[in-house]
Amino acid sequence: MPQIIIKRADGGVSIGPFKGDPGVTFEKWKGVARPSELPATYRVSDTAVVRPANRVFRNAWTDDVAGLQIDVNMDKARGLKLVSIRVERDSRLDVTDTDVLRLDGSPVSPELKAKRQALRDIPTVVQPDLDAIETPEELEAYEPAWP
């Protein structure tokens, strides 16, 4: 069954089977489809497209167009990893917010201040580590040293 590979507006790639009516080829369907039904950039392959086994960085997939290989855009994958680190950092900061509220006006300890600052600094601190990672598998396994 033919597969359609669509390059999305965000630069990512979506892949799926072309499921037209029986006996209708993609080219025939394309000829009668409304323009709004057609993706802006796409190609059709009669051969199975090789997708990354790991879908963690699915939104960083990129189509090399020349072949049948879908690759991971590592710059975009690093950005996705940084977003997930920020989400975890924010939840850890929320916990320290609760600790501060429990003090009920008492001074915040230097240790708690330092921990909160270290959490706020995490995205800057981990960026060189993320930049050095070269494979999606290494990137998925990476965990920052949380304060």
Output the six-digit token pair for 115.
Answer: 């921990």
Residue-level pLDDT at 86: 98
State how many domains the chain has. Answer: 2
Q: Which long-range contacts (CB under 8 A, 24 or more apart) does 75-80 make?
A: 76/11, 76/12, 77/136, 77/139, 78/130, 78/131, 78/133, 78/139
Residue-level pLDDT at 65: 57
Asked if the structure places residue 23 within a domain, the reply is yes
pLDDT in tens, 47-100: 777 778 888 998 888 876 566 678 899 999 999 999 999 999 999 999 998 888
44 and 85, same domain (yes or no): no
64 and 98, same domain (yes or no): no
Q: Of 24, 39, 72, which closes a domain? A: 72
Residue-level pLDDT at 3: 74
Residue-level pLDDT at 104: 82
pTM, two decimals, is: 0.76
Output the six-digit token pair for 3.
Answer: 């597969």
pLDDT higher at 4 or 90:
90
60 and 85, same domain (yes or no): no
Output the six-digit token pair for 134.
Answer: 């070269």
pLDDT in tens, 28-55: 666 666 666 666 676 777 677 777 888 8
Residue-level pLDDT at 16: 74
Range of the domain at 33: 3-72
51 and 81, same domain (yes or no): no
Q: Which residue has the tokens 């669509």?
A: 6
d(CA 10, CA 21): 29
33 and 83, same domain (yes or no): no
Residue-level pLDDT at 22: 61
